[in-house]
Amino acid sequence: MVTVRSMQIEDYDQVYALWMTIHGFSIRTIDDSREGVERFLKRNPGISVVAEMDGRVVGAILCGHDGRRGCLYHVCVHEAYRMHGIGRAMVVHCMNALQQEGINKVSLIAFTKNDIGNAFWKQIGWTKREDLNYYDFVLNQKNIENFNA
Q: What is the pLDDT of residues 26-84, one digit of tens each?
A: 899 999 999 999 999 999 999 999 999 999 999 999 999 999 999 999 999 999 999 99
**Exposed e or buried b per residue across 79-98, where buried means at least 16 C-beta atoms within 10 angstroms of its C-beta:** eeeeeeebbebbbebbbebb
pTM value is 0.91
**Closest by alpha carbon to 59, among 108, 7, 119, 111?**
7
